[in-house]
Structure 1
Amino acid sequence: MKIGVLALQGAFIEHVQALRQLGAEAVELRQLPDLEQPLDGIVLPGGESTVQGKLLHELGMFAPLQKKIAQGLPVLATCAGMILLAEKLTNDSKLHLATMPITVKRNAYGRQLGSFFTEAEFGKLGKVPMTFIRTPYIDSVGDGVEVLAAVDEHIVAAQYGKQLDLAFHPELDVAKSTGIHEYFVSLCVAK
């Protein structure tokens, strides 16, 4: 199984390491030819969504990536990745891939000082560790979107088909739990 991790900017190396720890072949996606290889899934990491969106366009990766996701390629999006997938942003008019019917609030928990750690229920996985860093959250979900986790009454994880969208960073908590990455790998296997 080969999973591509967008490696243009942000916290991608931790995802690569987590996937390799689970036995998946994780490849870094840095240019269009990387995206054109056969992939069983894609990870959109945390970082700066505006920068990632700009680089996707500049490198000619935007339209092919959007098409792959829209056609059902499993995707795990964390933090900035959540913003990339959102069909609507409450506090920004700039949209990116817009493949998931959710409305997201950027930097919802404030600046870096608003970062925090907690544990909360996540779908059928039970309690999982969650690290939030300048995190968005989901204001509302559209038809067909399953809410997987909420913290302080804010939606922080949702799934739409094979799109798994998280406000937090499971790649930073792999030493405590690989459950979310395992769940994502299961979506890739079932594709």
Structure 2
Amino acid sequence: MRKYGFHQSNSDHTLFLKHRRGKTTALIVYVDDMIIIGDDSEEISCLQKQLAAEFEMKNLGGLKYFLGIEVARSKGGIFLSQRKYVLDLLSEVGLLECKPADIPIIQNHKLGEYSNQVPIDKGRYQRLVGKLIYLSHTRPDIAYAVSVVSQFMHCPSEDPMNAVIQILRYLKSSPGKGLMFFEEESLKG
């Protein structure tokens, strides 16, 4: 990417950026998937041709789904959600038909490490919490609850697992909730 004038991001090594004539082009790569985005259509077209000369590529058109994140565009902006990811997760743990919860964590929860707690499957707990951490990218409404259950990754027990189930039941109430990025008049070029 450097030979095409792109610079690798220090904060995300899968992100490459190029600034030219006040415009920006970005390329993000994950294994064999990539997204090319920016406000320089000439540079995007050039990059696509350069990459196609070196790699077998297929242009899938406008971004609709990437790494479990659904992308929907409208005149008002861009909406990101992980609806399918939530439904798959609920199905995986057998909670697809569960009763939904109104809140992601019980207020004034008393989670902690107590000697009388029953230990649970550590690997399962860590996988579930890891999936919830990833889900919190488009669901900031669960971020606090996920940060609480993350504190028990090293030694999970029934109480923290019940808190994880509470988060999952909350997700059941609105699996398609996500983030809306509104188009701002002042940002138009």
Same-fold call, TM cutoff 0.5: no
User: TM-score, normalising length from structure 1?
Assistant: 0.21
TM-score, structure 2 normalization: 0.22
Q: Which has the larger radius of gyration?
A: 2
- Structure number having the greater strand percentage: 1
| Structure with more helix by fraction | 2
